[in-house]
A and B are shown apart, each in its own frame.
Chain A
């Protein structure tokens, strides 16, 4: 098998999760996923099927009841994870710029960009990319919800994560900004070789951005099917509105709504 030769960046093995007493219904049951280095996996599924819980387990914010999450390292250093929360979680006492710089201003992230100059430049680039440069000195409560979400994404990218976890990062954005960010972020992740897991309700977004789309079902939350998207990356704007994409989108939609 060739797949064993591919180097994995994230291996999730038979993860179960039950909150509280063990007689409670399982939120996640036997979830297993493997992501090759640089791979982009999207996860779609009905609300409450445990998508956020899965990401939190990967990040280590929650512990699995059983099963394992492995982050194989190539360099020997612990792989760096970063997480874009479903809710905007900007620190209200820091400006937009300081929020973006949060991760790399800490001791743990300072070495990502060698010097202070390099850190500042990286932040400037991310502000530019997310269209936030004019708002760099604003406080989070002075910018719109969509802009806040862009700051969240920029902050997560600033630490150059090996594995990026995105929990519905674009859900608060208008359609135009969303499509632009989808293209841009695809390109960045492709450039940096970042492995990514994107949780989304937007099937089109999943198909456009991901190499594979995992379809989850609820009660208990489990991965029912994985759909490969045969389209080379980086994805272009042309693919965003292509009939091929629409075709895949429809077929995934049907699998999520079997009774319709």
Chain B
């Protein structure tokens, strides 16, 4: 340790220890590792396919997938299947979300209701409900309805289970506040329980996206007149591997975008809660 002597009254510069990140570290923080990783991975995939030339029925290069996607949209041949699948997904997802959130808040708000329903909710959440998809086709036919039904069945439980957990996690202080100010049941839901449970609800909504997309595709496999699942099935029957990859990438893209949007709101909701 060194001691600095200074004359009385002189102002010495005290070295300040501000928490400044070093330029190297800042550059590191800015580096979009995710993007680099994906681009590098795709390049590697491309390279491996070109070097080893594997059976094109098994795997194709990213460039082939991109070209196939381009063709699908250029000719417009994908639209009928894409639209009906997205309709099935959107309708099912929104209906399930509305029901699951309302029901979840009600269950979370009442200990009695919670005790009665909790075993069912947990069991059904763990059940691979997709097994019921053929039944849905029998009931609802080959059209949009059966896709909606399968999506609802797959999506409703993750949202429900998270909403219940969220409503139960709302601090007793806030619930008592609603009692003190004589909030009506509806006001308690909209002003206290829903905003309090929102971070959990968004988590449920995010987890449900993937399941919903699986549902809408799988529903087609048991019989459909159009849809991305049917498209995949037909590609398989005609050994059109590039098309299988292209449709899968399309589905992945939809999932990633939807999940990303929900994640954005989730972060915001969590930040507001301190």
Contacts and interface: CB of A to CB of B under 8 A. Distances in A.
A89 interface: yes
B196 interface: yes
Given A103-B181, A106-B181, A141-B274, A85 B187 contact: no
Contacts of A108: 181-184
B29 interface: no
A82 interface: yes
B140 interface: no
A24 interface: no
- Interface footprint category on B: 20 to 34
A93 B196 contact: yes
A82 B182 CA distance: 10
A93 B273 contact: yes
Nearest to B269: A93
Contact of A91 (B182, B184, B192): B192
Given A89-B173, A93-B272, A61 B191 contact: no
A61 B180 contact: yes
Contact of A83 (B180, B187, B196, B272): B180
A92 B272 contact: yes
Nearest to B182: A108
B181 to A, nearest CB: 4
A57 B120 CA distance: 36
- Among A60, A91, A108, the most chain B Cβ lie within 10 Å of the Cβ of A91
A125 B192 CA distance: 25
A81 interface: yes
Nearest to A93: B195
A245 to B, nearest CB: 32
A131 interface: no
Contact of A81 (B177, B180, B184, B192): B180
A129 interface: no
Contacts of A140: 274
A108 B191 CA distance: 14
A9 B156 CA distance: 51
A89 B182 contact: no
A94 B272 CA distance: 9
Contacts of B79: none
A95 B180 CA distance: 20
Nearest to A88: B173
B71 interface: no
Contacts of B171: 89
Interface in B235-273: 272-273
B61 interface: no
Contacts of B70: none
B195 A91 contact: yes
Contacts of B177: 85, 89, 91, 102
B198 A59 contact: no
B40 interface: no
Contacts of A91: 174, 177, 191-192, 195-196
B98 to A, nearest CB: 20
A106 B192 CA distance: 12
B176 A61 contact: yes
Contact of A106 (B174, B184, B195, B198): B184
A92 B273 contact: yes
A106 B183 CA distance: 6
Contacts of A93: 195-196, 198, 272-273
B190 to A, nearest CB: 11
A107 B184 contact: yes
Given A61-B176, A87-B173, A106 B182 contact: yes
A59 B183 contact: no
Interface string B171-205: 10110110111111001000110011010000000
Contacts of B173: 85, 87, 89
A60 B182 CA distance: 11
Contacts of B273: 92-93, 141
A173 interface: no
- Among B179, B181, B195, the most chain A Cβ lie within 10 Å of the Cβ of B181
Nearest to B181: A103
A102 B274 CA distance: 20
A160 to B, nearest CB: 12
Contacts of A102: 177, 181, 191
Interface of A: 59-61, 81-83, 85, 87, 89, 91-94, 102-103, 106-109, 139-141, 159
Interface of B: 171, 173-174, 176-177, 179-184, 187, 191-192, 195-196, 198, 272-274
6 contacts: A61-B179, A93-B196, A94-B195, A108-B181, A108-B183, A109-B181
* 7 residue pairs, one from A and one from B, having the closest CB atoms: A108-B182, A141-B274, A93-B195, A89-B173, A103-B181, A83-B180, A106-B183
